[in-house]
Chains A and B, each alone.
Chain A
Amino acid sequence: MGTHNDQLIMKGISKAFPGVKALDDVSFEVISGEVHSLIGQNGAGKSTLMGILNGITKPDDGNIYLNNNLVKIDDPKDAFNLNLSIVHQEFALCNNLTVAENIYLGDEPHSKSGFVDYKKMHLDAKYLLDSINVSLGTEEIVGDLNTSQWQIIEICKALAKKPKFIVMDEPTASLDEKQIDNLFDIINTLKKNGIGIIYISHKLKEIIHISDRITVLKDGKINNSFLKQQVNEEDLIKSMIGENILIKNEQQKKIYPKKPILEIKNYRYSNIFKNINIELFEGEILGLSGLLGSGANELLRSIFGIIKQDDGQISLNSEIISINKPRDAVSRGIGYIPSDRKNEGLIQNNSIKDNSVLTIFEKLTNIGFFNFNEATKTTNDYIKKLDIKVSNIDSFVMNLSGGNQQKVVIAKWLAKNCRVLLFDEPTRGIDVAAKAQIWKLISKFTNEGGSVIVASNEIPELINNCNRIITMQKGLISNTFKYEDFNEQKISLNISSK
């Protein structure tokens, strides 16, 4: 491990994607034995910058230097050769294998006879775990361990490659407070061992606690750089968001407590979310915002019956209903637009027409036969209404752009005449113009009396379009903001503090 002062510098990095300048002359450095954090909103350019460091993305401009020597990182292998490891946000572990086997996966020590040298593997793994002061049996089966231990194993996997620098992407997303303390102990040990750490997180308290330096990215530019002692949460949020005044959607209006359409009482699912009470009013767009692990997305999925809540009741139009599976929700006129529209929303190798009428197969049936003419008519109707750009309704949906695909998903619920739509990250991965169109569709739907819950972390988008915003943290509702009280900084604080 690097004991002397190594220095990794990214200088003047620029990268443009069609229509967006993702990074604009960004410089970033990390030296041995420090934690340098990188923060910024979604789309600020963090992932692009780390992609460049890992050799996944090629910069348009700029250089990377290791100890003042120019280095080229063209693919992840180059990054590996420069002793740079990345701990990804998602776990990539084999649940049926032991801790040691996972740590040395694909890089097993071999004996002279060519067989895997398990003795050495376990000794090495033990040494590695000891070096970060973790007591964990190397013979334990990974599937029996908890998420915090998985996180430790992921870090050990990175350490096994003997890195000088480690990038940690949202390492605390699935950890509780005590586990986070453990992780921070490990990070401090790594620092002492002379490893430089780039730390990416949305959780500002943690960032301030663990970092030596903090750099804020905003709209692809370095907005600010802080030393640990100089900074508090408000400064960071201000720097991330800026003080620009948001232009609000003109059609957006206050919803005075009319009739609640959907009422959720005391919803609980395992320890993912609990004590959830939500009322959704007629004609309302309700924002639901929380980081990964806050339970927001799971809550949406349980309202739709994909996961069954352990406790709590749900009523629609003041009538208590039971939703055990998505079919129950659909029959009650509740629709769900999943964030993973590729795998959950659409049937890629079926036609646009088939996808648009997916929810109303039963309605389009005459004594067992499928009414193709009616299906074509309905589809053409919604293509016009939603302005979906297609050449032929019989072509496969996989050929459409992200925005148009999302509209097809919406079309199938409008065709079903749903009264309540649940959107999970509706604008993820679609371009700015399409985003605006999707929001326009949502507000049109509510103007016609429909009600909508949108789970999203795009806070500016929520502020521009919602009537109320509920923030979630660690499975609990942390706050509810009325339209009059919308304030991006306060909302961000209610999502990311702790």
Chain B
Amino acid sequence: MNFNLLKNTSNNINLLILFFILCGFAIFISPAFLDFDNIQNIIRTVMVLGIIAFGMTMVMILGEIDLSVGSIAAFSCAFGGLFVNSDSSFLVIILTLLAGAFCGFLNGIGVAIIKVPSLIMTLGTMAIIRNAGYIMTKGQAAYPTKLETYMASAKGYVGIFPIPVIIFILLSIICAILIRYSTVGKSFYVVGSNPMASILSGISNNSAKIIAFTVCGLCCSVAGLIQSARLGQIDPHMGIGWELTVIAIAVLGGASLYGGKGSIEGTIIATLIIGVINNLLNLLGMSNHSQEVVIAIIIISMVLIHNFRKNNLS
């Protein structure tokens, strides 16, 4: 474990260096980067995707992938939004989270028990869950503006700290503990590194996978909740294309598409880096389209770097 930690640490230090270089570059380009509003804007925008990236990191440590994250976020919020007139924030939030966890659980069952490759399973559920959300809401948005606690999840403050940031930090701590110190988390790495050896040692690969996908679904609903509160509307069209950025964050943070690698610390730093890159591109006046191009290039080059390292090793 120390050895693992060391390796992760060196990777994370590289990421931190990259982060500061990017920040320096951004300041050089536009001093407006350091404006309090701008920084807050970066954090608020990227935090939502960072939360999902925690779940994605777990799924990827297992050697799987989840493409349905955006759909789960939209569907779970829409499901909670059906009860928006109940005037109970608590009810809406709980239903949202349950719906998210349930969607993730279904992904887990499909991948672990039915043994559909996760790429295909979640590609399918991406469409199914997304469209189930449209059918359920007839494509109409709901407005949670009257629900105080619900809205506070994006707009509230505790002291000077915005609540979404607090949620992000809390979730990161929980996920980090889950991955590093819980037995289930340990089995993620084992299953992802060598599924055969893990089965032959009597470890249940299936339950590890189901848990990881369920947690990922839960993360999606939390992220969707914050996003809905931020925009003041629960839109079933939310989260289209999120999977691209979320996978980019996880991969940049050190998660391997081949399984067995990844850490929450890396994912946190990667979240900030992606945030800065997006902001930088905005400051440079580049369109959303070119931002997606850059993010896609990041994913591909991270895999390239991974392969390069692997070849160097052997």
Contact = CB atoms under 8 A, between A and B. Distances in A.
Interface of A: 304, 306, 325-327, 329-331, 336, 338, 343-351, 353-354, 358-359, 361-362, 364-365, 368-370, 372, 392, 394-396, 412, 416
Contacts of B183: 361-362, 364-365, 368-370
Interface in B156-210: 181-187, 189-190, 193-194, 196-204
Contacts of A412: 201
Contacts of A392: 3
Nearest to B190: A347
B4 A361 contact: no
Nearest to B201: A358
A351 B1 contact: yes
A364 B196 CA distance: 21
A329 B199 CA distance: 11
B197 A368 contact: no
B203 A358 contact: yes
A345 B1 CA distance: 19
Given A344-B196, A345-B200, A369 B182 contact: yes
B310 to A, nearest CB: 11
Contacts of B201: 326, 330, 358-359, 412
A268 B260 CA distance: 37
20 contacts: A329-B202, A344-B200, A345-B197, A346-B194, A346-B197, A347-B190, A347-B197, A350-B189, A350-B190, A354-B186, A358-B197, A358-B203, A361-B183, A361-B203, A365-B182, A368-B182, A370-B183, A372-B1, A394-B2, A412-B201
- Chain B interface residue number, banded: 20 to 34
Contacts of B202: 326-327, 329-331, 359, 416
A269 B219 CA distance: 45
A343 B197 CA distance: 7
Given A325-B199, A416-B202, 16 more contacts: A326-B202, A327-B199, A327-B204, A343-B196, A343-B197, A344-B200, A349-B193, A354-B189, A358-B198, A358-B201, A359-B202, A361-B183, A370-B185, A372-B1, A394-B2, A394-B3
Q: Which of B186, B198, B201 has the most CB of A within 10 A?
A: B201
A351 to B, nearest CB: 6
Contacts of A348: 193-194
A372 B1 CA distance: 9
Contact of A347 (B1, B2, B194, B204): B194
A347 B193 contact: yes
Interface in B2-35: 2-4
Nearest to A301: B200
A37 to B, nearest CB: 37
Nearest to A359: B201
A325 to B, nearest CB: 7
Q: Which of B184, B186, B203 has the most CB of A within 10 A?
A: B186
Contact of A369 (B181, B193, B197, B199): B181
B3 A361 contact: no
Across the A-B interface, give the 7 residue pairs with the lowest CB-CB distance, nearest first: A330-B202, A365-B183, A358-B201, A347-B194, A394-B2, A347-B193, A394-B3
A119 B185 CA distance: 57
B1 A336 contact: no
A370 B181 contact: yes
Contact of A351 (B4, B198, B200): B4
Instruction: Determine the main DSSP class of B at the interface with A.
Output: helix
B194 A354 contact: no
A487 to B, nearest CB: 35
Contact of B184 (A330, A368, A394): A368
Interface of B: 1-4, 181-187, 189-190, 193-194, 196-204, 260
A336 B200 contact: yes
A98 to B, nearest CB: 28
Given A349-B193, A394-B2, A370 B186 contact: yes
Contacts of A354: 1, 186, 189-190
Contacts of B200: 304, 306, 326, 336, 338, 344-345
Contacts of A394: 1-4
B265 to A, nearest CB: 18
Nearest to B180: A370
Contacts of A345: 197, 200
Contacts of B194: 343, 346-348
Contacts of A359: 201-202
A250 B185 CA distance: 47
Nearest to A366: B183
Nearest to A345: B197
A112 B14 CA distance: 55
A345 B197 CA distance: 5
Contacts of A306: 200
B177 to A, nearest CB: 8
A331 B203 CA distance: 10
Contacts of B3: 351, 392, 394-396
Contacts of B204: 327
Contacts of B184: 368
A359 B260 CA distance: 18
A364 to B, nearest CB: 7
B4 A358 contact: no
A344 B204 CA distance: 15
Contacts of A349: 193, 260
Contacts of A329: 202
A370 B197 contact: no
Contact of A361 (B186, B196, B197): B186
A358 B204 CA distance: 12
Contacts of B1: 351, 353-354, 372, 394
A370 B182 contact: yes
Nearest to A416: B202
B285 to A, nearest CB: 44
A412 B186 CA distance: 16
Given A354-B190, A361-B187, A372-B1, A347 B198 contact: yes
Contacts of A396: 3
B197 A344 contact: yes
Nearest to B185: A370
Given A347-B198, A369-B181, A412-B201, A358 B260 contact: no
A182 to B, nearest CB: 36
A330 B1 CA distance: 25
A382 to B, nearest CB: 15
B108 to A, nearest CB: 18
A392 to B, nearest CB: 8
Contacts of A344: 196-197, 200
B182 to A, nearest CB: 5
A306 B4 CA distance: 30
Contacts of A364: 183
Contacts of A416: 202
Contacts of A336: 200
A392 B168 CA distance: 36
A52 B280 CA distance: 61
A330 B190 CA distance: 17
A345 B194 CA distance: 9
Nearest to B4: A351
Q: Which of B3, B189, B196, B200 has the most CB of A within 10 A?
A: B200
B286 to A, nearest CB: 39
Contacts of A365: 182-183
